Amino acid sequence: MNFQKERSERIAQIEEIIKTYLPPEEGFQKTVLEAMNYSVLAGGKRLRPMLMQETFRLFGGRGGAIEPFMAAIEMIHTYSLVHDDLPAMDDDEYRRGKKTTHAVYGEAMGILAGDGLLNLAFETACKSFPGEDQEMTDAERAAQFARTAKALEILGEKAGVYGMIGGQTADVEAVDKQITPELLDFIFRLKTAALIEASMMIGAVLAGASSEEQELIRQVAEKVGIAFQIRDDVLDVTATTEVLGKPVHSDERNNKPTYVTMNGLEKSVADVDLLSREAMEKLSALDRRNPFLEELLLSLIAREN
């Protein structure tokens, strides 16, 4: 398997899926629609929709029911970045090597663009419910309804106050404060790992995975998500702006405690390796495999940007 080639092909496919759900830039609200589309199309690795799709495939998922959720998770991730970059938060001018949304459209439109993407995400995800024109048996229709409803529940929880927003709240309040290991773990699990959990769990749910398999996937995703955030803290210290595509040392500038400041660079790197090995061991407990998904998970943790 040529992983990089296959990954590039998947990104291109995901880009096309996302574009089909973006709004036309017209009407009196045209500016916010432009800002929303600018934010989503500003680049990115499309990791979360890719994780969702590959987990769906891992459990034998077929059909297009996954596609609205793939677009929705990327909209939610993007809105969180738009708001994260605002002056009231990290006050960053660049993201993915381009001007941030508020730097291009202004702070008010940055707020509205994020709000718009969050609402559009759930509107889009609901398109996964089977339409009346879809040919399926009553049993298949009922199963698809139940799976989509469960997936929506996961998306709402992991993106909300018991997930990403809850973690972001704790992260904002941690600035200029002494932070405990327990609080930092809470921030990592909710702020970063929650959307990765949502991505993989939704893929499993829509494919018909059992509740036991869904929980195992959640545990894998949680470990990957925490390792991903620790790696992000490491890169904020070791990478360059050119490679990372956003300002480095921003956590230090904002007096934000990180895993590296609490544990040192050497232990941080070692813990990333430990969490990645634990995640892969859990994944290998399944009686099925997706080699691309395995390689993708490892690449996220070892990334350079």
User: Residues 1, 292: contact at Cβ < 8 Å?
Assistant: yes
pLDDT band at 174 (very low <50, low <70, confident <90, very high): confident
Least confident window among 194-198, 237-241, 262-266: 237-241
CB neighbour list of residue 240: distance below 8 Å, 6 or more residues apart:
248
SS3 state at 166: helix
| pLDDT tens digits along 200-212 | 999 999 999 999 9
Helix or strand (DSSP H, E) at 14: helix 3-20
| pLDDT tens digits along 70-86 | 999 999 999 999 999 99
Residue 243: count of CB within 10 angstroms of its CB: 12
Least confident window among 14-28, 126-140, 158-172: 126-140
CB neighbour list of residue 36: distance below 8 Å, 6 or more residues apart:
22, 23, 113, 116, 117, 120
What's residue 241's pLDDT?
46
Domains of the chain: 3-130+139-301 (1.10.600.10)
CB neighbour list of residue 143: distance below 8 Å, 6 or more residues apart:
208
What's residue 96's pLDDT?
78
| pLDDT tens digits along 82-98 | 999 999 988 889 887 88
Give the dihedral of Cα atoms 143, 149, 155, 158; nearest 10 deg.
-100
